[in-house]
A and B are shown apart, each in its own frame.
Chain A
Amino acid sequence: MKCIQLIALCTVVCIACGGQPHGPKAPAAAEAKLLPARLRVLSSAELERALSELLGSSPPVAGRLAKEIRQAGYTRNADQPWLPSDAVRWDSISREAVNAALTQHFAKLWPCPAANPTPCRDAVLDNWALTAWRRPATGEERQELQALWSLGAAEGDARGGAALVLTALLQSSSFLYQSELGEAISATETRLDPYETAQALAFTLSGAPPDASLLSAAEAGRLRKGDERARAARSILGRSNTRHHFRRFVLEWLEVDQLQDTAKDAVRFPAYDPLKQSMLDETASFADQVFITRGASVDAFLTAGFVSVDADLARFYGLDAMGPQVSSAKTARLGILQHASVLAAHSHPDITSPVKRGDFVLRRLLCKQLPRPAELGLEIVMPVPKPNETTLQRIERHSNDPNCSYCHRQIDPVGMAFENFDASGRALAANEFGPRSPEPWQFNGEDVQLTDSMVLARWLAARPDVHSCFARQAFRYFSAQSDPGVETAFLELVDRLPESKRSNLIEMLVAYAASDLFVTRRRMP
């Protein structure tokens, strides 16, 4: 089967222009509703924080380890292996970190007296192991650490001993992996032990290892009950140092986190390159504001009437004011969908892309995955654009092709709603963009008149399936895994919340932390 792709809008992500679509995979009846008992390699950001927790400081890790392999678009990925190249790079980073820490604050790290240091040494080593591994060392491990220290500290060189032990801890798999193996509670299930629970709470909710108070709670057995975990979760979520974790979720959910790796036609969009960081900062800052003041609800993400702009972006948006919450009433922007970062990330370098923008909304807000042309055996021929052709005219050629029309009737009108923004995210005057189709968009049997993207944003914010999709997307990020069965279990958990809390990410995560789903794992063969 061949399809003539009649718009010059497809690049990497081509949307199917034919055949029968298939929506999100429905979970099979026998699908597991628990996460598997697993080991997860810490992400670069988590490694940096874990280093800092142990040593008091950390060199930057994110740019030095290889980029994470993504699952469902998210960098938190439980299937990520630790590869030889990771080990080589980590070896260099961790040695550098240990050397720097021992040089900068050796006395703080090693408070033991020179005379009769052994009792103090053992206590310090125990504490290091607890911090690095997020659990106490076993007797065997303690002996090994003490032997390592003795080897490194030959001839009384405490610094050498400390360096060897810290290096070994940082190379150990107990440091590099978050364990969610659990202890068997039945033939098919395991349950996280108290320290694994502490790790799960900390890494899931803050992207960082557990601090001393959480480890103490684990030791005291105060994380076994749901309400205890809910309290711990609220405490973690209330800290300002968890915000980075939510910012990253929002940036990855919106697929803008790699905006720095994009380029625009420098002649048409000279302002774009210097503005990329401001655009990213806006989305991150907006996420903070929604998290702090709106409970991270999807309604607020979609319809909050403010922008978070620095001076440069304010000028780009045509605003006089700058700050974290500047009213967007005088602009064509509402919520997060009209952020310049989002509009630019889902455009081509030279022109807008209703296909990319529409596809983005369907995939990330409605969780509707349409097949790509290749999956339908379609070959795409890119036409040469005609200079005087409007975007609508290019787009409408889809509807003339029976192979293309089924999917593109769903995609294109959504993308066309954003046509009052150019490929760099700048708002266009009415005479700068072409017409939209007067035909209503049909979605699941409903006629929707998408006069612009603010209408779309309000329509999305009111839909239960968008709220459910948001919960699904969040779960993929925070749980580091995409599994339809477990996602369904999470959505059922969310559905049991009072209606006022169902769209609130903080409440969802607290409920998750308190649930059996959070601490129970599927035993794997």
Chain B
Amino acid sequence: MTRTPAHVPPNRSRRRFLGALGAGIAVSCLAPELRAERERKGAPLRFIGAYLPHGCAYELWKPDADFNLRRPDSSLAPFDAPETYGKSFKSQLLVIDGLDLAAGIEVGTVGHEAARVILTGSGAQGKGASIDQYLAQDCLLGAETPLTSLVLAVGNDATDIGSNLSYTSLGTPVPKWIDPVRVYDELFGQPLSQLGQAELADQRRRGRSVLDFARRDLARLQRRAALGERAKLEQHGTALRELEKRLSPAARPCNAPSRPDRAQFPKLRAFGGGEPNFEVVTELMTELLARAIACDLTRFATIMLPDLSRTGLYPELPADLHAEVAHRYSPRTEHGPGLPQTWQLLGLQNRHSYGHVARLLQHLDEAGVLGDTIVYATSDMGDPSRHSSRNVPTIVAGGCGGHFTLGRHLDLRRTKGDALFPHNRLLVSVLQAFGVQRDSFGSAPSSRTTTGRLNELVL
């Protein structure tokens, strides 16, 4: 994709902007010393959450004892494939083995529904935000960029709990963008930035008048509404602030990719004929996501990657990965050797998904922002034939701002036995890396599930 200069709509000065948003209260969720350090360094931390389908073929996923990823059938091979992805990302990869989506398991939100649990640390009835939205919205860290957050998916814009990673503080899913053209226009194609200065000023003036009016109307409604409804209206206030940001475009040097060509993907949805286009759409989405981070258009993003069903990319794979590969995976257990041919098919899906994550790392690295980005990629299941949300394949990648010790395999299975090892601890550690002052996240019947950080992230 060729690079063309583009006008990008950034923001006013941070202080003015946060002041306009009443940011003082929410930013207090950051530890003062960390906030100060963060501002002094001027290198904000970013977060990307990624969903990978169908759990994993553990036999091919688990790294060798020496953290060798170059084994031919290793699912994680893309992270050490400089010939394909520009460089090896092995030293910026932490493979975490043995985390359980315990907050979901405790309340029966498992299997296909457990995408809900991944970033919220809560089951189906949880009412909290996912960590990307918590950081971006509740802590207002997303207020500093034109887009508070970016929520993407390929092929699936459904709103059920199995199809979404990002949730608002009301516990409702954040709608996903699935069309690369719409994402491009949202990120790089704001019409206001094409206008002359006088016209731009006039548009802003009118736009602010409309928003002022909408805000007064909202305030009148808030005065009449009960407490429960006010939470809903507070979300509405957030929505108006998002619109306000869009009125503040100014020139910012940043290279945008060229606008995606819709002819490359005439159909977008799974089951609607979109599958053959998923590969090109995924490539576009990862590139747009990386550019959005590199151009500081947003610092918080999630993406749900698709499976290979009906894509026709691998002749050896059946059309329906879910029924014919994931369900038929037969792992090696203490009861039997399993079926290695089923590992190979699922491993192919896994390796392909990790290839997209590696490509994302490559884009971020080339843009010089990988070092300050936390990429957290996982799945809703470990063993997909059991629909089990235990031992979900977890990787943390990118430089992570130096907060975690990378380049290794962290094996939690050795110590946990049959007990659950809640992934909430990883979420808490990520929040703390951003300077958030809390030692628990999510909701579960047992507070032990939601409390504590993952100390093993740092050696």
Query: Which chain B residues border A87 with CB–CB below 8 Å?
Result: 236, 239-240, 242-243
Which of B113, B233, B319 contacts A374 (CB under 8 A)? Answer: B113
Known pairs A81-B172, A82-B239, A374-B113; A168 contacts B108 (CB<8 A) = no
**Docked-complex contact B320 and A350, CB < 8 angstroms:** yes
Q: Are B239 and A83 in contact (CB under 8 A)?
A: yes
Q: Considering only CB atoms, which chain A residue lies closest to B319 in the complex?
A: A265
Mask, A66-99, CB within 8 Å of B = 1, is 1111100000000111111111100100000000
With a cutoff of 8 Å between Cβ atoms, the chain A residues found around residue B310 in the complex are 263
Determine if A12 is an interface residue (Cβ-Cβ < 8 Å): yes
Tally A residues with Cβ within 8 Å of B: 65
Residues of B within 8 A of A31 (CB): none
Q: What class of interface size applies to chain B in its complex with A? A: 35 or more
In the complex, are the beta carbons of B226 and A168 less than 8 A apart? no
Tell me if B110 is interfacial: C-beta within 8 Å of chain A.
Answer: yes
A194 at the interface (CB under 8 A from B): no
Judge if A349 is at the interface, Cβ distance under 8 Å: yes
The A-contacting residues of B in range 121-176, CB under 8 angstroms, are 148, 151, 157-160, 162, 168, 170, 172-176
Taking CB as reference atom, which chain A residue is nearest B156? A261
Decide: A168 and B221 in contact? CB cutoff 8 A.
no
Q: Does B385 contact A (CB under 8 A)?
A: yes
B246 touches A86 (CB 8 A): no
Of the candidate stretches B7-15, B44-52, B203-211, B419-427, the one touching chain A is B203-211
A398 within 8 A of partner (CB): no
* A266–B310 CA distance with the chains assembled, in angstroms: 10
Q: In this complex, which of A37, A171, A179 has the most chain B Cβ atoms within 10 angstroms of its Cβ? A: A171
A-B contact count (CB 8 A): 175
Residues of chain B contacted by A69 (CB below 8 angstroms) = 159, 172-173
The interface-forming segment of B268-276, B277-285, B443-451 is B268-276
A37 touches B226 (CB 8 A): yes
Q: Which of B176, B271, B272 has the most CB of A within 10 A?
A: B271
Instruction: Please measure, in the bound complex, the distance between the C-alpha atom of A86 and the C-alpha atom of B232, giving whole angstroms.
Output: 13
Stretch of A105-113, A377-385, A429-437 that contacts chain B: A377-385
Most chain B CB neighbours (cut-off 10 Å) among A85, A181, A261, A380 = A85
Give the residues in chain B near A84, CB-CB below 8 Å: 148, 238-239, 241-243
Nearest CB of chain A from residue B25's CB, rounded to whole Å: 19
Q: Which of A126-161 contact B (CB under 8 A)?
A: 141, 144-145, 148, 151-152
- B-contacting residues of A (Cβ < 8 Å)? 8, 11-12, 14, 36-39, 66-70, 79-88, 91, 141, 144-145, 148, 151-152, 164, 167-168, 171-174, 176-177, 179, 181, 260-263, 265-266, 273, 348-350, 372-377, 379-382, 384, 523-525
Nearest first, the 8 A-B pairs at minimum CB distance are: A66-B175, A524-B226, A382-B327, A87-B239, A84-B242, A375-B108, A263-B271, A172-B217
Please list 20 pairs of residues, one from A and one from B, whose beta carbons are closer than 8 Å in the complex, sorted by A's number. A36-B226, A66-B159, A67-B157, A79-B170, A82-B236, A82-B239, A83-B235, A83-B238, A151-B205, A168-B209, A168-B210, A172-B214, A173-B236, A174-B217, A273-B273, A348-B323, A374-B110, A374-B387, A384-B328, A524-B227
